[in-house]
Amino acid sequence: MNAVVLLGPPGAGKGTVAEVLVDKGYRHVSTGELLREQIRLGTKLGLEAKTLMDQGQFVPDDVVVGMIRDLIESVDSGSMFLFDGFPRTLVQAEKLDELISDLCGTLKNVFLLECPDDVIVSRLSGRRTCSKCGAVYHTAFNPPSDDDGCDQDGCELVQRADDSEATIRKRLLVYAEQTAPLIDYYTNKGLVDTVDATQSIETVRNAVLEYIA
């Protein structure tokens, strides 16, 4: 199996990059979705994770890595995986390396989407969501036709709590604290490909595609 890791702060455009990699045959691995699926299936790992989550505790790295191992082992050995949102810490990166090595796989690329904090704040704090249908707008990049309501149903547009500037800056601080060691870790392995995420979506996507060509 081959794998790539996608790193970048919230709002850097990881989702749009993930889309183009999925189109190229990569399987998008979301640890949150894996947890929910394991819980739905009632697996041993899922039951363990649910017990911890119900108690308000974090799911241990070993449980998350165990789910990823189960997923990788359940598909063809020639599959390609995109890890987005994992690893988040140095310990998780080391465990992922061990897992890939155990399965005779290769971590080919680590894409780092770089974007200044002020740009991130502008992107995320400008988002507005329809209170009824959930449609997402942006005050600068994708404003509704009517400033007072959703184009689809006319309902009020609201700013989610996690899109406030104060919350965004807290998230960016956590990201910087957790991810800086990861960047150094993967840079020392010669795996980091840095992409300027302030560019257009198409430019960012094309830059990533050039790296994996």
pTM listed for this prediction: 0.81
How many residues are present in the chain? 213
- 27 flagged as catalytic: no
User: Which residue numbers in the chain have pLDDT < 70?
Assistant: 56
- Domain ranges in the chain are 2-115+176-212, 117-163
Pick the CATH number of 2-115+176-212 from 3.50.50.60, 1.20.120.160, 3.50.40.10, 3.40.50.300: 3.40.50.300
Strand stretches in the chain, DSSP E: 2-7, 26-29, 80-84, 106-114, 127-130, 136-138, 157-158, 192-196
Q: Catalytic residue among 69, 88, 132, 169, which?
A: 88
Q: What is the pLDDT of residue 171?
A: 86
- 127 flagged as catalytic: yes
Q: Catalytic residue among 44, 160, 170, 189, which?
A: 160
Q: Helix or strand or coil: residue 127? A: strand
In angstroms, the CA 39 to CA 59 distance is 12
Q: Do strands 136-138 and 127-130 pair parallel, antiparallel, or not at all (unpaired)?
A: antiparallel
Q: Catalytic residue among 14, 95, 123, 128, which?
A: 14
Report the C-alpha dihedral over residues 180, 182, 188, 194, rounded to 10 degrees. -70
- 14 flagged as catalytic: yes
- 108 flagged as catalytic: no
- 171 flagged as catalytic: yes
Q: Catalytic residue among 123, 127, 128, 205, which?
A: 127
Q: Catalytic residue among 27, 36, 69, 171, which?
A: 171
Identity of residue 183: I
